[in-house]
Structure 1
């Protein structure tokens, strides 16, 4: 916690978008979810380690990349959010972009969780590097490393800020939020036995 209040992580944002009650259980009741034991989390970490060491100097010039930095820690006291982006790309048009690897398949669209992860990374890149970040990229490892570009609108940035404020409101007030509207997410949820 700093002078402005608690800092949240990008992972917290992803959990909130999956189901707002994750924030309540993790922060208000201090009940960890132990995601590190799940196969996809373990495999995702292995993929990140592999990508970090494979061809470390390769630049995706077809996408306009002229320089990249790996595993960049980003933090914003203003937004009260922090996280590590897999790569920050510096592009030939003078902008920068977050790049994330996902141990997932590309199925003709980008999940909102992935979009907001990129949006929040972009906001922190803009603050940290003083350069515009109007798009991001995701590499879908299970679809032959398909790279998808995600362009951001002003509304994306506004919504990203609103999500952070909603999360902080739960933490600071102890408000018990409504559960996700997607019932199928509850089936394998680590909190399903205590979620009323």
Structure 2
């Protein structure tokens, strides 16, 4: 079974064509300024995170683990979790975002996909995850419901189907997303 990445879940929800161009028509694209800037900020935050307390996430205690590689053979899914907090037998995934906008659905599904990986890898059950907005220092809790888990599994299957059929999906309805997209020049209809 084709292994996909957790970030593919986020990208699929953002624009399905990103998955098409990544897997069906691998292109050499230049990273955008926004991508480079976000990566640099993300790396800096990971560095600083090692000495920060958990209070910024509304947590009292726990062991912080940064940059955890996760894999599930059952889901054929892999990813690198920004931050995982472990306290006793509770695992709390934390996704760090360099954004001032409240988390969108694609971010919640990405977090839930990490939750599924953690459940498989550590043989546990995740009750919640957190999305932390770095600039605003805001943290949002996402409950890991059965419906959320089900939806993420459906998205994983849709990603595989898209790749298998190799049919270019319709363009996103939110054309504002296209302005800074590294694949914009390849779409032809946006």
Q: Does 1:101 align with 2:93?
A: no
Provide the residue aligned with 1:192 in structure 2. 184
Provide the residue aligned with 1:123 in structure 2. 116
Shift of 1:55: 5.5
From the superposition, tell whether residues 48 and 194 of structure 1 become closer, same or farther in structure 2 (CA, over 3 Å). Answer: closer
Which segments of structure 1 move beyond 6 Å, counting only runs of 4 or more?
Answer: none
Shift of 1:180: 1.4
TM-score, normalised to structure 1, is 0.85
RMSD (Å) for aligned C-alpha atoms:
1.9
SS at match of 1:122: helix
- Cα distance between partner residues in 1 of 2:182 and 2:49: 37
The answer for unaligned runs of 5 or more in structure 2 is none
Q: Does 1:89 align with 2:89?
A: no
- Cα distance between partner residues in 2 of 1:55 and 1:20: 32
From the superposition, tell whether residues 113 and 65 of structure 1 become closer, same or farther in structure 2 (CA, over 3 Å). Answer: farther
- The question of whether the paired residues in 2 share the 8 Å contact of 1:40 and 1:103 is answered with no
Q: Does 1:75 align with 2:68?
A: no
From the superposition, tell whether residues 142 and 55 of structure 1 become closer, same or farther in structure 2 (CA, over 3 Å). Answer: closer
**Matched pairs, number:** 186
TM-score, normalised to structure 2, is 0.88
Provide the residue aligned with 1:147 in structure 2. 139
- The question of whether the paired residues in 1 share the 8 Å contact of 2:32 and 2:181 is answered with no
Q: Deviations over 1:49-95 (max 9, x none)?
A: 22233252544155143112110001112112111001111135x32
- The question of whether the paired residues in 1 share the 8 Å contact of 2:32 and 2:180 is answered with no
Q: Higher relative contact order at CA 8 Å, sep ≥6: structure 1 or structure 2?
A: 2
Q: Deviations over 1:28-54 (max 9, x none)?
A: 1112443xx323322222223222332
